[in-house]
Structure 1
Amino acid sequence: MLRNQQWSKVKKKLDSFKCDSLKDRVQFTVTNYRRAHDQLGRAFITVDKKEVLNMCTITSERALISREYEIKREKQIPYTDWSRNLDIWEEAHDWVLDEGIFAQYDFFDSVEQYFQQPIHESLKSNNMLIKIFALIDRRVGKRTLVKMKESVLNEKKIVQFFYKLRCETEGIRIAK
């Protein structure tokens, strides 16, 4: 499990997959808060030293709890009915991820999955983070990027941002 490894080793491996054109522009950072009860903090991605994606555990947990409450209210499940909590949590977590609200542990889970699967699977992933990692991966060539032009239009804004960034740095013209 990546969360137990030193961040410097994980970062080095993640950076080794970055394409040359984005090597110095895209950075992955993890910050842990020692005084937090779980000592988790946040992970974030910067482009040209500007934060473009923040994966804060506290923000994610708040959204998750709020969504769990909404699901219970919508389905009229009594608060004391513990038997369905796991199902509700999973539904809420999927919704939070789909909204692009990630915790630090989601970042590490995504990195681990990205490391373990072929690049073509990462490009087709429903996980935005994995897709972002794949879009800046040196193993993805210009022809593959050009073929993705239409399908990227259906992606979230942050995925489109990384697609456009990669295309620009590779000299690929994409119509707006």
Structure 2
Amino acid sequence: MGKSWSGLKKELEEKFLCESLRGRVYYFLTHYHDAHDDYGRFCVRVDKNEYAKANPFAYYVKGYYKLECRTKGELDVPDREWTGDGYLYNEENEAIEDKIIEMSINNGDFDICDVTEAIREYKGLPIEKSIASENPIIRMFAIMDRRIGKRTLKKLADQVDIQPNWLQFFYKLRLDSEKINRKKYSSEIIFEENR
């Protein structure tokens, strides 16, 4: 990412975070250097509670790795083989691995590397592309971004329910912080700003 975590955290919280969430939202990342694999954790703290927690073990503990192995077996995807120049069957394996990782992220189970990669991508994209990204972690940063104005938020208000469950919290948080409510009457959505 090119910056220390403290510099990146400051940039995320002071440059990108919308005014209505400053002082309420903080980003936390640490690495446990005494751990055998130097693992760590990430979370977004909102009003001193932790949300969007990155857990390096979730992929294994929650069964995604078993699902990955089972899927590869069902599709007869051979294990990677080193040839001296590269791996055989790498594309086939990566395609399945990417799908399972996408599923885990949509379920709110992600690793620190997923978050740091999302931050890097988010910072390099225009805000319009960030909020429309296929990656829900990027959309999490984007929905709290100061560059998303009230008009855009009103358009996004009807998309809350189609977001992954864990991400709905951040959409509602931003809408509430800007005092934008949604009211549904039959299939129609009416927006109302609190005064």
The answer to whether the superposition gives a TM-score over 0.5 is yes
2:189 aligns with none
How many residues are paired up? 173
* Aligned-CA RMSD value: 2.0
Instruction: Give how far 1:88 is off.
Output: 2.0
- What is the deviation of 1:90? 4.2
For normalisation by structure 2, the TM-score amounts to: 0.79
Name the CA distance, whole Å, in 1 between partners of 2:92 and 2:121.
22
Q: Give the one of 7, 10, 17 matched to 1:9.
A: 7
Q: CA deviation at 1:77?
A: 3.5
The alpha carbon displacement at 1:37 in A equals 3.6
Larger Rg: 2
Q: Kindly tell me: are residues 86 and 64 of structure 1, through their superposed partners in 2, closer, same or farther at Cα, counting changes over 3 Å?
A: farther
The residue correspondences of 1:90-105 to structure 2 (distance < 5 A) are 90-100=95-105, 101-105=109-113
Q: TM-score by structure 1 length?
A: 0.87
What does residue 25 of structure 2 align with? Answer: 26
Residue in 2 aligned with 1:108?
116
1:38 to partner: Cα distance: 3.4
8 A contact 1:56–1:103 mirrored in 2: yes
CA 1:67 to 1:5, structure 2 compared with 1: closer, same or farther past 3 Å? Answer: farther
- AA partner of residue 177 (structure 2): T
The residue correspondences of 1:72-87 to structure 2 (distance < 5 A) are 72-78=72-78, 80=79, 82=81, 83-87=88-92
3-state SS in 1 of match to 2:157? coil
Counterparts of 1:48 and 1:59, CA distance in 2: 25
| Stretch of structure 1 that moved more, 19-28 or 94-103 | 94-103
Q: Does 1:126 align with 2:157?
A: no
Query: Residue 161 of structure 1 aligns with which residue?
Result: 169
Structure with greater strand percent: 2
* Contact 1:64–1:92 under 8 Å retained in 2: no
Change (3 A) 1:161 1:135: same
C-alpha separation in 2, matches of 1:72 and 1:174: 43
Cα shift at 1:13: 1.1
CA distance in 2, matches of 1:122, 1:81: 34
The Cα shift of 1:18 comes to 0.5
**Are the equivalent residues in 2 in contact too, given 1:71–1:88 (CA < 8 A)?**
no
Corresponding residue of 1:39:
38
1:106-141 CA distances to partner (integer Å, 9 max, x unpaired)?
Answer: 110000000001000001001111101000001101
Contact map agreement 2:140 2:167 (CA 8 A) in 1 = yes
| Cα distance change, pair 91–153 in 1 and its aligned pair in 2 (3 A) | same
Distance (Å, rounded) in 1 between the aligned partners of 2:153 and 2:51? 21
Q: How far apart, in 2, do the equivalents of 1:156 and 1:132 lie?
A: 11
2: CA distance between counterparts of 1:110 and 1:104? 10
User: Between Structure 1 and Structure 2, which shows a larger proportion of helix residues?
Assistant: 1
Residues in 1 aligned to 2:181 and 2:102: alpha-carbon distance in whole angstroms: 30
Alpha-carbon offset, residue 153 of structure 1: 2.4
What 5-or-longer segments of structure 1 have no aligned partner?
A: none
- CA distance 1:39–1:69, change in 2 (3 Å): same
